[in-house]
Amino acid sequence: MKVALEIIEFKKVYGTYPAVNGVSFSVEEGELFGLIGPDGAGKTTLIRALCTLLKPTSGSLIVSGMDSNTDILAIRNILGYMPQRFSLYQDLSVEQNLQFFADLFKVPAIHRTERLNRLYQFSRLESFKKRLAGELSGGMKQKLALSCALIHTPAILILDEPTYGVDPLSRQEFWEILKSIQQEGATILVSTAYMEEAELCDRVALMYNGKIIEINPPEKIKAEYPYPLYRCEGRDMQKLRNFFKNLEGIRQTQLFGNALHVSFSEKPSPGDWQKWQKQSGGDLKNWIDHEPSMEDVFLYLINQEIKDE
C-alpha cells in the first residue's frame, strides 16, 4: 500500500511547552485511521500542522508525497479538512454554504449538480437546504461541515473531533457516512476523545501528553490488556469503587455509567466474590468476566506511561 500521510519526528513547541513531542507514524492510502486521546493530548496541533495551518518546530509532515512546509497550496487542493468547531457561515443556508465552498475550491459548474445531489443523498440534508446553518441541530451541522469538506472530492479527509457534543444517533449516522466514503477509496484521518469510536477505525494511534503511546488495530490493542477484568454492579457505585480500591491485588478501577470495571493481579475465586459481597455491606450485587474496552486499555497504558516518567 502507498503512504498517504507520513509524520516524521514532528514536534511543535509553544514557548517552552511541547504540545507535540517527536511524533512519528504513517497512514496508508484508503485507510481509516483514528487519532485517539483526551483533550490536551496534542491531536488538534498535529492535525492543523498536517493541514498546513501550523509550521513544525522540527520534524516533517508529508502529505501524498508533498512537504507541508513548501507545498502548501498543492496539499490544500487534495485535502478535505473539518475543524473541531463548527466553522461554516451560520447566516447562509445549507445550499448557500455548499455553493460557497464549491466556488472556493473552483469546482467546475458541469460537476456541481451531480456532486450536490450526491452530498444531499448521504447527508439527508436536501429537505433542509433552504434552512440557515445556524438553525440546524448539532448533528446536522456536522453533516453540513463534512459535505462542505467533500465538495471538491478530496483524496484525503482530515477530521478533528467531528462528533464532539453530538447525540449518539447522529454520531452513529456520521460514522456510517465515513465508512461509505472510505469504501469509495478516500483516506481518512479522524481524531476523537470517544474511545468507542476508536473501534470503528482500521488502526488507531493512542495519544497522550504530546506523544504516541501505542499504534495498532483496535482488536490487537485490546488483546494486550494483561489483567483479569470484571464488570461489577451494585447499590452505591462510588462506595463500591472505594471498597475495591482498598483491596490487595487490585490493578485498576473505573466507573462506566452504572457499572464498575475492576482488574486484578490474579483471577479471583468464587469464594473471593462471596466474601467481598458480604464485606461491601451489600453494595456489590453482580459481577461478570468482561472483555477490556479501548478505554480500559488506554487508562492502563496512561498509568504505565506515568510510572515510566
Per-residue pLDDT of 230-270, as tens digits, reads 999 988 899 999 999 999 999 999 998 889 999 999 999 99
Do the domains 226-291 and 3-219 match in fold? no
Q: pLDDT class for 85, splitting at 50, 70, 90?
A: confident
Amino acid 23: pLDDT: 96
Superfamily for the 3-219 domain: P-loop containing nucleotide triphosphate hydrolases (3.40.50.300)
Give the residue from 51, 36, 46, 53 showing the smallest Cα distance to 9: 46
**Architecture in CATH for domain 226-291:** 2-Layer Sandwich (3.30)
Mean of all residue pLDDT scores within the chain: 91
CA angle 14, 62, 212 (to 5 degrees): 55
The pTM of this model reads: 0.88
Give me 180's grid cell: 461509505
- What is the CA 290 to chain-centroid distance, rounded? 23
pLDDT for 202-223, tens place per residue? 999 999 999 999 999 999 999 9
Amino acid 229: pLDDT: 96
298/165 Cα distance (integer angstroms): 21
Angle separating helix axes 94-104 and 138-150, nearest 10 degrees:
30
Identify the residue whose cell numbers are 451531480. 114
Q: Where are the domains of the chain?
A: 3-219, 226-291
pLDDT for 93-130, tens place per residue? 999 999 998 998 888 888 888 888 888 888 888 999 99
